[in-house]
Structure 1
Amino acid sequence: MSENPAAKPSGGFLKWALWGAAAVGVAAVLYIIGAASIKPGGGGDLERLAKGEMSKLVVPAEPTRAPGHVFHDAAGKPVRVADFQGQVVVMNIWATWCAPCVLEMPTLAALQKSYAGKPVKVVAVSVDQPDDSAKAQAFIAKHA
């Protein structure tokens, strides 16, 4: 225990754990952007993975289109993944109750800003309830 009873706990482990989670998230985003910038050479290189538990892996000859599921952007406008055709899309699935998301939002906003004018789009998709859209918008305004 501390000699000073008024001293506040620093929350050191939790703070480092959150920073670590944010760093892993940023590293994953950068990896995805790097991997997506390489034009795939077809599915031939994936066929070697179709062994053992992966023996039922189906490797399409041509890439498949993104699903047409609709989600809403920060302004409430309906959007589909297909709307971003020809761009690298970094999709972040988040929620207002997600502690690491507080750290991820500014990083993702900076990532989008650093790729301004390039075919890279950072898309944040909230999994909060549709009637919590005002809460989600306030979260983005505060943390992005």
Structure 2
Amino acid sequence: MESTEVYYYISKAINNKDSIGGHIISQFFHNNWYGLRFWDLIQPAFMFMTGVAMTYSLTKQIEQGKQRETAVKTNGYWLSYLNTRLQNGEDFNLMKNYDSLLNKISPASLKAAAQKYLSGENYIRLVLMPEKMK
């Protein structure tokens, strides 16, 4: 199926409301507004819960720095560490430099990296053109 025919099949599915495709496609269109309903509060509630969870998550991530110190003493940690390094072909000595690498990260270094890599100078825009129709 060519990409240009997708719109034809979508419009065909929309016109046939009794088909499975018609039911799926109809979910992407906005219903008429009849006032605030309970269902309208579900998405904001999930966003609120996510925001609250992020607060606890960040606290947990800060504590994980302490947990890493204790995890390093277990065989399971080292098995996972070695397995990951072997699979990815990475240097085994990363653990020696881990703390110094973390300490090198500062707001200024993050800002410099963002300016370097997110400046738009290395932006590439690729557009796929359809093949000529036969």
The answer to whether the superposition gives a TM-score over 0.5 is no
TM-score, normalised relative to structure 2: 0.32
Higher strand share: 1
Which protein, 1 or 2, shows the higher relative CO under an 8 Å CA cutoff with sep ≥ 6?
1
Higher helix share: 2
Q: Which has the larger radius of gyration?
A: 2
